[in-house]
């Protein structure tokens, strides 16, 4: 794909918002570049100045809002940390803003299933890249919490691996079957994070599985 001619920062947000609304309202398959241009308030020629195809416009929107969501999620988590929140509070807010807000926005679209499918089909490389970026920032957040003794990580625990496990759990929550009701996402993120950080069971016999006694 050719390089996208990006507008100014303020223009980027405006363009991304228009693209998002167009895809939310009309889906992906039935939109043409002419229709997309009209919905975004551009001439067809002006839209082609930025994107060579509908797919390129779609990828731009997905990439833009993923990075915005990462920044907002990490920022929200750090605010909770500064306000004295627990590790579970910090990470729940981080995941709820990063992943929950996207799910709540998408749920308002009548084309939610199609958009989700198209995103994984056409933007997998972007999704992988932003996942790696977000996981690295979550690992830094964990390190900061450890330095403040907001969380006491067990010796030998790799923070990058822990961050990936937490992020995998949040993404799994968003893709759960049957789908988790929108108003329960925050609670489910919290339960998942608590289970990963502090566990729900002890290893029997110090790690050795006990066999039931014979009758």
The 10s digit of each residue's pLDDT in 92-142 is 999 999 999 999 999 999 999 999 999 999 999 999 999 999 999 999 999
Q: Rounded distance, CA 110 to CA 65, Å? A: 19
CB count within 10 Å of CB 173 equals 20
The 10s digit of each residue's pLDDT in 53-101 is 999 999 999 999 999 999 999 999 999 999 999 999 999 999 999 999 9
Domain 55-198, second-level architecture: Orthogonal Bundle (1.10)
Q: Rounded distance, CA 39 to CA 42, Å? A: 8
Cβ(108)–Cβ(24) below 8 Å: yes
Cβ(90)–Cβ(77) below 8 Å: yes
Q: Rounded distance, CA 38 to CA 16, Å? A: 15
pTM tops 0.85: yes
Cβ(186)–Cβ(95) below 8 Å: no
Share of the chain above pLDDT 90, in %: 86
> Treating both helix axes as pointing N-terminal to C-terminal, what angle do 112-122 and 124-147 enclose, rounded to 10 degrees?
90
């Amino acid at each position: 794909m050719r390089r996208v001619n990006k507008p100014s920062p303020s223009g980027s947000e405006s363009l991304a918002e228009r693209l998002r609304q167009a895809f939310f309202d009309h889906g992906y398959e039935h939109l043409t570049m002419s229709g997309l241009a009209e919905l975004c308030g551009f001439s067809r020629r002006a839209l082609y100045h930025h994107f060579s195809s509908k797919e390129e416009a779609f990828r731009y929107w997905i990439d833009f809002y993923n990075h915005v969501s990462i920044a907002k999620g990490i920022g929200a988590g750090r605010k909770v940390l500064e306000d004295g929140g627990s590790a579970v509070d910090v990470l729940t807010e981080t995941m709820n803003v990063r992943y929950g807000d996207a799910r709540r926005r998408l749920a308002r679209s009548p084309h939610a299933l199609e958009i989700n499918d198209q995103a994984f089909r056409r933007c997998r490389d972007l999704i992988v890249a932003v996942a790696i970026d977000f996981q690295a920032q979550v690992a830094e957040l964990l390190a900061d919490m450890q330095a403040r003794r907001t969380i006491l990580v067990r010796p030998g625990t790799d923070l990058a691996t822990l961050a990936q496990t937490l992020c995998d759990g949040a993404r799994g929550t968003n893709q759960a079957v049957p789908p988790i009701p929108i108003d329960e996402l925050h609670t489910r993120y919290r339960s998942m994070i608590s289970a990963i950080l502090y566990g729900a069971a002890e290893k029997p016999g110090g790690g050795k599985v006990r066999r039931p006694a014979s009758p």
